[in-house]
């Protein structure tokens, strides 16, 4: 029964270009904080450290530790290397991209009146919260079934006429029917068939994604007696996600599969979204050697989400007259909807070792099952999938920094637990960083090398029919921050 439930949950959330699903919800809810080179050099364990612009994304109270004005910008270079194991075959692919990890301005205001209120700081800018750039290639031989078999099973489970197919499945099954990849084998009983019901095909899929999630932030923080720091951030995240995929099947045994030679299925998706959230944080320094931080993030409400998609399918066949092909294209699909991502809470601690360095750590609480879609086209089953599929992972980050005159040496480690309920999938991520920095009187330069690795199972179609492809993605980033204090 448990296995059946797991399969039903996964089937309801397989990557699809045709409607919102739990995979989409996780993509925009799981934040892997980017930002300045110093912030990432400590693996984002900055909630109790402060005095870095990117800290406003996790604990805005860190803004209160600034005692001067600052402008900084952070370009980055990233290489994502993927490995996919499917049916005994291993294939690799990679994608390189550049971008802006952070751009920020901090203004320090000191009150003239004496008292416990030491300073008030304001910050404006942008921090990257996710990088969607990746490329995956999957290939393997399937001697059990075909994607077309899953289409036929869907049609044969109900009483579908050809007109029903075009109305109900215009982006996938209808394309297969219109190109003769599936056909009406019993018109009296409305039963359908295909030429490779038992597989014997080479299956290939290439998935290419790009885009990012960047948050524009307005932050405020105050310093009270150099002991208590309180801050708030208004965040406006922007989502830009693009995905293209190509799925192919090629006849691998002409003695068992006749007529059918190959199929090619191309899909395109573009998602854009704008949201808003609020963050509140504090840092308390009971003694000079220790800082304790806490922050809460309201759910992010994306009131303006939009998907645009389309697909094309081609079938190639061979008979006595020769080889020929048929192609069919879908209409252009679009949908407007809303998304609410989960509440977050972050607890942090930092130990300050005189003027020599620091050690910091933090724990992030987030319940991914709280994500919700809203809109006229959203069904209850989608939000039910989210509720039962996801859970509360263990997210930990630790970092350290040491001072050598005007130079800094940094390192960090992060662990992001599986966002799935036990037994459904993997999705753990490990990350590590190493960085160097120079801090002059007015100028500073920081550089960090960042590494991360995540493994997750991917089903190309119905999990009860096809084995998962185990995809391992390793990302390497080089992040550089240039800044001026005045």
Reply yes or no on whether the pLDDT at 425 is more than 80: no
Own/partner pairs for 156-163, CB < 8 Å, 24+ apart?
156/191, 156/192, 159/190, 160/190, 160/192, 161/190
Reply yes or no on whether the pLDDT at 16 is more than 70: no
Euclidean distance between CA atoms 180 and 141, whole angstroms: 23
**Mean pLDDT value across the chain:** 94
Euclidean distance between CA atoms 141 and 35, whole angstroms: 42
User: Given this model, what pLDDT does residue 122 score?
Assistant: 98
For residue range 85-144, what is the model confidence (pLDDT) as tens digits? 999 999 999 999 999 999 999 999 998 766 788 999 999 999 999 999 999 999 999 999
Q: What is the three-class DSSP state of 166? A: helix
Q: What are phi and psi of 142, to 5 degrees?
A: -115, 115
User: Given this model, what pLDDT does residue 116 score?
Assistant: 84
57: enclosing H helix or E strand? none
Where residue 404 falls among pLDDT bands split at 50, 70, 90?
Answer: very high
Across the strands, what pairs with 272?
240, 306
Euclidean distance between CA atoms 161 and 181, whole angstroms: 16
Q: Computed over its alpha carbons, how large is the radius of gyration of the chain? A: 26
**Cα 258 to Cα 178, 183, 253, distances in angstroms:** 19, 14, 9
The alpha carbon of 84 is separated from its chain's Cα centroid by a whole number of angstroms, namely 18
Euclidean distance between CA atoms 422 and 390, whole angstroms: 9
Reply yes or no on whether the pLDDT at 5 is more than 80: no
Pick the closest to residue 294 from 107, 54, 50, 80 (CA basis).
50
For residue range 74-85, what is the model confidence (pLDDT) as tens digits? 999 999 999 999
318 CB-contact burial (10 Å; exposed 0-12 / middle 13-18 / buried 19+): middle
Q: Give the domains, in start order, of the chain with CATH numbers.
A: 2-146+196-485 (2.40.160.60)
For residue range 166-217, what is the model confidence (pLDDT) as tens digits? 999 999 999 999 999 999 999 999 999 999 999 999 999 999 999 999 999 9
For residue range 373-385, what is the model confidence (pLDDT) as tens digits? 999 888 788 999 9
Strand ranges (DSSP E) for 144-259?
A: 182-186, 191-194, 201-224, 228-251
Q: Please state whether 225 falls in left (phi above 0), alpha (psi between -120 and 50) or beta.
A: left
Euclidean distance between CA atoms 161 and 345, whole angstroms: 52
Average pLDDT of the segment spanning 422-434: 89
């Amino acid at each position: 029964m448990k296995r059946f439930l797991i399969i039903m949950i996964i089937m309801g959330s397989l990557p699809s270009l045709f409607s919102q699903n739990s995979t989409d919800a996780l993509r925009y809810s799981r934040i892997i904080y980017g930002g300045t080179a110093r912030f990432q050099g400590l693996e984002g364990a900055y909630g109790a450290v402060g005095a870095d612009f990117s800290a406003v994304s996790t604990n805005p109270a860190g803004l209160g530790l600034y005692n001067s004005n600052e402008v900084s910008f952070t370009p980055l270079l990233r290489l994502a290397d993927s490995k996919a194991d499917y049916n005994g075959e291993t294939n690799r692919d990679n994608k390189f991209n550049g971008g802006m990890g952070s751009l920020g301005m901090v203004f320090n205001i000191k009150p003239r009146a004496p008292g416990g209120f030491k300073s008030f700081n304001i910050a404006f800018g942008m921090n990257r919260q996710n990088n969607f750039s990746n490329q995956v290639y999957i290939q393997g031989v399937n001697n059990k079934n075909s994607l077309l078999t899953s289409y036929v099973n869907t049609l044969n489970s109900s009483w579908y006429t050809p007109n029903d197919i075009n109305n109900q499945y215009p982006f996938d099954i209808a394309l297969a029917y219109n190109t003769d990849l599936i056909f009406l084998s019993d018109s009296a009983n409305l039963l359908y068939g295909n030429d490779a019901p038992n597989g014997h095909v080479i299956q290939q899929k290439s998935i290419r994604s790009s885009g990012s999630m960047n948050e524009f932030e307005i932050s405020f923080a105050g310093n009270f007696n150099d002991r208590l720091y309180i801050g708030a951030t208004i965040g406006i995240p922007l989502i830009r996600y693009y995905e293209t995929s190509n799925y192919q099947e090629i006849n691998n045994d002409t003695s068992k599969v006749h007529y059918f030679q190959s199929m090619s299925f191309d899909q395109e998706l573009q998602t854009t979204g704008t949201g808003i959230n609020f963050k509140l944080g504090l840092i308390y320094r009971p003694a000079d050697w220790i800082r304790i931080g806490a922050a809460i993030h309201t759910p992010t409400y994306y009131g303006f989400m939009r998907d645009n998609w389309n697909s094309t399918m081609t079938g190639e066949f061979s008979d006595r007259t020769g080889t020929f092909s048929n192609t069919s294209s879908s209409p252009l699909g679009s949908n407007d909807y809303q998304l609410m991502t989960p509440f977050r809470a972050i607890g942090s601690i930092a130990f300050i070792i005189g003027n020599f360095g620091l050690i910091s750590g933090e724990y992030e609480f987030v319940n991914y099952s709280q994500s919700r879609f809203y809109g006229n086209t959203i069904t209850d089953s989608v939000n039910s999938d989210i509720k039962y599929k996801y859970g509360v992972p263990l997210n930990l980050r630790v970092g350290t920094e040491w001072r050598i005159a005007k130079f800094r040496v940094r390192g960090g480690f992060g662990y992001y637990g599986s966002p799935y309920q036990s037994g459904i999938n993997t999705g753990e991520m490990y990350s590590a960083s190493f960085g160097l920095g120079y801090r002059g009187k007015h100028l500073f330069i920081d550089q960090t090398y960042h590494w991360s690795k995540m493994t997750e199972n991917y089903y190309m179609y119905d999990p009860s029919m096809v084995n998962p492809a185990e995809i391992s993605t390793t990302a390497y980033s080089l992040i550089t921050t240039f800044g001026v204090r005045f």
